[in-house]
Structure 1
Amino acid sequence: MNCHRCGGLMLAEQFDDPHDYTNETEFVGWRCVNCGSIVDPVITGRQRRQSNLSLDNHPTDKEEVAMVRTVLLALSACVFLLSAQPLSAAPQPDPGFAPLKFLVGKWRGTDPEGQPITAFYRFTSGATSLTETLSPKKSPAMTTIYHLDGAYLMLTHYCSLNNQPRMRVNEYKEGDKELAFDFLDATNLKNPSDPHMHKVVFTFHDNDHYTQTWMFSKDGTETPKVFKFERVK
């Protein structure tokens, strides 16, 4: 007899089972002289019972189909419940943003030197602020955040001059073609005569064209910087 594990020679041997509570505590089995594997009636019987149990517990084709259907029904129910939940409405900007709401999206135009420039507007922070990103071709991009301070529409301009002017709209009526932001204060501006942006005026030509005129201040002298934009469609 050869070993089923290594193919070595199997020799008959008498074994004693101390856990057998019958009177037959001794039995004859086979031990491999090469790897030591033992085959005896107890091991053989257990292997047969496990094999039969595995076959008995294996689901039939009908049982497998039923299980798949149950899983699919459960998944369908979950999808239905999720789809039935009402979607939360997107936050709407305050009416105070009315003069600037139409700017949302992408624009292209020219800077004061006639070089290409792009502008991108989007509402952020739960529609409590409007973020503008100006990207000139030959200078760093700049960000301006438009927000409300009570009844006032304001902006904070994060300038490449390394200061941050704050400006406020003091007067605007619905239908006006211009929106002027006047200087309020600035951070990181050591002296009022240092270079900074002191004012900006939006001129609305139509829904697809507008102009920004920034007033650049240095040593008390203001120089207009005009940016012209058209909507990218």
Structure 2
Amino acid sequence: MLPVVLMSLSAMAFAQSDAHKMDEPKTPAPKSEAQTSFDAMKTLAGDWEGPVKTDMPVEAKVDIKPLHVSMRVTSRGNVLVHEFQEAGTPLDPAKYDHPVTMLYVDADRLTLVHYCDAGNRPRMTGKISPDGKTLEFEFADLSGSNKYGHMYHAVFTIIDANHHTEDWTYMMPGDKPVHAHFDLQRTK
């Protein structure tokens, strides 16, 4: 009988020693750099407008109007959709440029895929600056045609909750870069 009582007491003591572990809050694993970068990008969700400046050659310059940028988080928080178009134009993809960019964490990388009006999909990987204000994306590879060039580089700089800039580099045929700077204010 004594061995049965001792075993019962031992089992009870063991069960009680582990019971408190279930009540302790679990410490979340530290976020990866990619997840930290993505979380910073998600703070830009909303609608933005502002002027665009480019360094296009004079002979190629067109009248550049203010830009409207829309960013929204989707897919249960796993994707940031970035769309831009000339401010005031209708959403008519057959008539107006309306590229879409998707940002997401892929394993340990922040990934950007730009679905370009030029008929291609450049993929870039991004990193956040030490101060957490700048996210820079470097070209990784390209799917689709390169006949008209492709988007090559992107930098997002968070000024404050209602102001950010975007710098995009488009690589023209013959590896001639064209830079565009968007200075954007939150509209909602």
Q: Tell me the residue number matched to 1:223.
A: 178
Q: Tell me the residue number matched to 2:143.
A: 187
What SS class does the counterpart of residue 128 from structure 2 fall into? Answer: coil
What SS class does the counterpart of residue 111 from structure 2 fall into? Answer: strand
Q: Tell me the residue number matched to 2:98.
A: 141
Matching residue's letter, 2:182? F
Unaligned runs of 5+ in 2: 1-34, 54-62, 90-95
- How far apart in 2 are the matches of 1:207 and 1:154? 23
- How far apart in 2 are the matches of 1:99 and 1:114? 29
Matched, 1:100 2:54: no
**Percentage identity across paired residues of the two chains:** 28
Q: Tell me the residue number matched to 1:6.
A: none
Q: Is the 8 A contact 2:49 2:186 kept in 1?
A: yes
TM-score normalized with structure 2 length: 0.66
Identify the match of residue 110 of structure 2 among 146, 149, 153.
153
Identify the match of residue 128 of structure 1 among 68, 72, 78.
78
Deviations 1:186-227 (A, max 9, x none): 110357xx5111001112211111111111112112121111
Q: Is the 8 A contact 2:37 2:128 kept in 1?
A: no
Alignment of 1:108-123 (within 5 A): 108-112=49-53, 114-123=64-73
Structure having greater relative contact order (Cα 8 Å, sep ≥ 6)? 2
- How far apart in 2 are the matches of 1:158 and 1:127? 20
Alignment of 1:61-100 (within 5 A): 95-100=36-41
Matching residue's letter, 1:198? Y
What SS class does the counterpart of residue 100 from structure 1 fall into? Answer: helix
Matched, 1:199 2:153: yes
TM-score normalized with structure 1 length: 0.54
| Change in CA separation of 1:206 and 1:114 when aligned onto 2, cut-off 3 Å | farther
Structure 1 residue 114 displacement after superposition = 4.5
Matched, 1:208 2:165: no
Q: Is the 8 A contact 1:96 1:148 kept in 2?
A: no
Higher strand share: 2
The number of residues matched between the two structures is: 137
Structure 1 residue 176 displacement after superposition = 3.1
